[in-house]
Amino acid sequence: MQGIWVTELQTPHLALSCRVKKTLHWEKTPYQELSIVDTEAFGRMLLLDDVIQTTVKDEFVYHEMIAHVPLNTHPHPREVLVIGGGDGGAIREIIKHASVTRAVLVEIDARVVATAREYLPEIACGLDDTRVEIRFEDGIDHVRRFEAQYDVIIVDSTDPVGPAAGLFTREFYQNVFKALKPDGLFVAQTESPFFNAEFIRRVYHDIASVFPITRIYLATIPTYPGGLWTFSLGSKEYDPLAVDPARIPRLPTRYYSPEVHRAAFILPPFVQEILHSE
């Protein structure tokens, strides 16, 4: 292989490599190593600790699916919290909803936001909307402090290691439940059904022990391990499967649609087995 390549070791036995056109930025923040590279295959790419977070080519899938599924499940989402998500992609999608009056971004690492603003303007472009508040703090502490505050909480975190590990615990889900209004719901990115089956099963059962409605849905994200990604949703009242497609507003999206909303919850047997096997 000629030229410079960026390689993410996605599992101890699997790597994804992309040819690099240019390295645009590298720094060590107080929390992680942050880099932005321009790649032939996916355009500009944000990596944290050498793990691909988002790329200009495929980010729309992840950000649309993590935002519009919960926001269209809730009939009138007004106050929305994003934990992590410093690139701004989830916020860009959230503010497409006219019902949203306040979108709070709680990101632990201020450098992620600053770097995304500089190098990924097409992803970070919603961060200056007047409804958006940005707080640089730990999302685990943030949810502990609030009661019945948010309609929707979105956990757009890094993988469950380091500062993000505590975002995937039963105790955290209990605090999310408390921070949500009586009809609130939350969603989290929950890794690959090919490579993180045990983790997905554990998270599903932890959410189900806290929320009356628990669902998993899928999206195809080429730069994430295995290409197929799970999102886990816990809800106090509204079931994402009961949403009337005719009620879903037609927003400008490239992956999400009312039909995809329904289809994303149809789980192949191997994913159902992950949830229901002992």
Under the binding rule (CB under 6 A), the answer on residue 45 touching ligand SAM is no
On whether the CB atoms of residues 82 and 105 are closer than 8 A, the answer is: yes
Q: Is residue 18 within 8 Å of residue 41, measured between CB atoms?
A: yes
Q: Which of 140, 149, 197, 150 is nearest to 174 (CA)?
A: 140
CB 67 within 8 A of CB 77: no
Which residue lies nearer to ligand SAM by CB, 8 or 238? 8
Please enumerate in sequence order all residues whose Cβ is within 8 A of that of 276, keeping only pairs 6 or more positions apart, or say none. none
Residue 93 near ligand SAM by CB under 6 A: no
Our finding on whether 218 is near ligand SAM (CB under 6 A) is no
Structure tokens at 196: 């993180």
Is 158 an interacting residue with respect to ligand SAM (CB under 6 A)? yes
In this structure, which amino acid lies at residue 50? D
Site track for ligand SAM across 3-42, x = CB under 6 A: ----------------------------x-----------
Q: Is 156 annotated as a binding residue?
A: yes
Binding segment (CB under 6 A) for ligand SAM, from list 8-16, 118-126, 154-162, 263-271: 154-162
Is residue 244 among the annotated active site residues? no
Q: Which stretch binds ligand SAM (CB under 6 A): 69-77, 106-114, 127-135, 246-254?
A: 106-114
Only one of the segments 20-28, 103-111, 144-152, 210-218 lies at the binding site for ligand SAM (rule: CB under 6 A); that segment is 103-111
Tell me how crowded residue 245 is: count the other CB atoms within 10 A of its CB: 11
Amino acid (1-letter code) at residue 124:
A
Residue 83 touching ligand SAM (CB under 6 A): yes
Q: In whole angstroms, what separates CA 257 from the centre of its chain? A: 18
Burial class (CB in 10 A: 0-12, 13-18, 19+), 270: exposed
Tokens of 248: 């879903």
Q: Given the residues 58, 109, 151, 156, select the one marked as catalytic.
A: 156
What length does the chain have?
278
Residue number of the CB atom closest to ligand SAM:
84
Residues 109-128 that bind ligand SAM (CB under 6 A): 109, 112
The residues assigned a catalytic role are 156
Report the interface residues with ligand SAM, using CB under 6 A. Answer: 31, 48, 53-54, 62, 83-87, 106-109, 112, 138-140, 156-158, 163-164, 167, 189
